[in-house]
């Protein structure tokens, strides 16, 4: 069985589909292509690539099918699992630091062999049998820590985000469609402190500022970059085209397509 013939599977507790990553997870791409963005950098995964996507990060990613096929393997490393792993195994730390939300993993036969070993554990629904899921998660994590020991500094950091420069953070991340509670958490504030500090800095409520900032960027992209509203509204944090069009008309008094 070739590595590109791996079937899609998802192992571990379910995670939210929102653009806030609630738990670390391992991602291997067997077919298709995936593009990711974390507010700082763009990332591309091709068949045979794998990465760790970090928790407590804002991240957006989209998939591109190859001959109408897209196959991926995802293993969730949630905090309870990592806590138990930490108790059971000796974990060494390397003083490794990175701000990237997507940590590319080195290609290695150990990872390939592990992925191929999953086939006997697939159920009729295409998932790994629950009885073996934690065993396989533990095996994968042991492999990853052997290949890249510095991952321990990322995976076993159980702290919460510290207080950040609110203005700099929001100017960099305003395009992400997440709740104010998420923005507050990521900047190291309670929701009330976030709103209070936001008002002092921007002289505007967070919700109103986010809409105006996204629309300003939309007008720039349409006028100066000649991009179409249908191509940009999702990347700017709007949930649907009609909401974007209504907000744009209300803000600027003109239809986006008439610029």
pLDDT < 50 positions in the chain? none
- 31-53 pLDDT, tens digit per residue, is 999 999 998 899 999 999 999 99
Contacts of 156 (CB under 8 A, 6+ apart): 82, 86, 91, 93
Fold category of 166-258 in CATH = Arc Repressor Mutant, subunit A (1.10.10)
**Judging by beta carbons within 10 Å of its beta carbon (0-12, 13-18, 19+), is residue 176 exposed, middle or buried?**
buried
Q: What pLDDT shows up at residue 258?
A: 52
Q: What pLDDT shows up at residue 158?
A: 94
Q: What pLDDT shows up at residue 131?
A: 84
Domains 3-155 and 166-258 share a fold: no
Q: What is the DSSP string of 124-186?
A: TTSSB-HHHHHHHHHHHHHHHHHH-GGGHHHHT---------HHHHHHHHTTS---HHHHHHH
Strands laid side by side in the 42-45 sheet = 42-45, 33-37, 60-64
Report the CATH superfamily, name and number, of domain 3-155: Jelly Rolls (2.60.120.10)
Q: What pLDDT shows up at residue 4?
A: 66
Q: What pLDDT shows up at residue 229?
A: 94
- 80-125 pLDDT, tens digit per residue, is 999 999 999 989 999 999 999 999 999 999 999 999 999 888 877 7
Domain-wise residue ranges, the chain: 3-155, 166-258
């Amino acid at each position: 069985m070739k590595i590109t013939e791996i079937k899609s599977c998802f192992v571990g507790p379910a995670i939210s589909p929102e653009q806030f990553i609630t738990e670390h997870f391992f991602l291997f791409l067997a077919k298709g292509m995936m593009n990711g963005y974390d507010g700082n950098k763009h990332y591309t995964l091709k068949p045979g690539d794998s990465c760790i996507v970090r928790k407590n990060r804002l991240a957006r990613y989209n998939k591109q099918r190859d001959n109408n096929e897209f196959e991926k393997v995802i293993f969730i490393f949630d905090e309870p699992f990592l806590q138990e792993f930490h108790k059971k195994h000796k974990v060494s730390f390397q003083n490794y630091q990175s701000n990237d939300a997507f940590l590319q993993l080195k290609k290695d036969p150990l990872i390939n062999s592990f992925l191929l070993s999953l086939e006997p554990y697939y159920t009729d629904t295409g998932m790994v049998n629950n009885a073996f899921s934690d065993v396989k998660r533990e095996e994968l994590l042991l492999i990853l820590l052997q290949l890249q020991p510095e991952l321990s500094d990322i995976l076993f950091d159980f702290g919460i985000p510290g207080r950040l420069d609110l203005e700099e953070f929001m100017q960099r991340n305003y395009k992400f469609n997440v709740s104010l509670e998420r923005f507050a958490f990521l900047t190291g504030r309670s929701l009330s402190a976030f709103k209070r500090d936001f008002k002092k800095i921007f002289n505007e409520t967070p919700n109103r500022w986010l809409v105006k900032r996204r629309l300003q960027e939309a007008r720039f992209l349409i006028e100066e970059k000649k991009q179409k509203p249908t191509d940009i509204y999702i990347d700017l944090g709007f949930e649907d085209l009609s909401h974007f069009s209504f907000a744009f008309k209300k803000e600027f008094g003109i239809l986006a397509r008439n610029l």
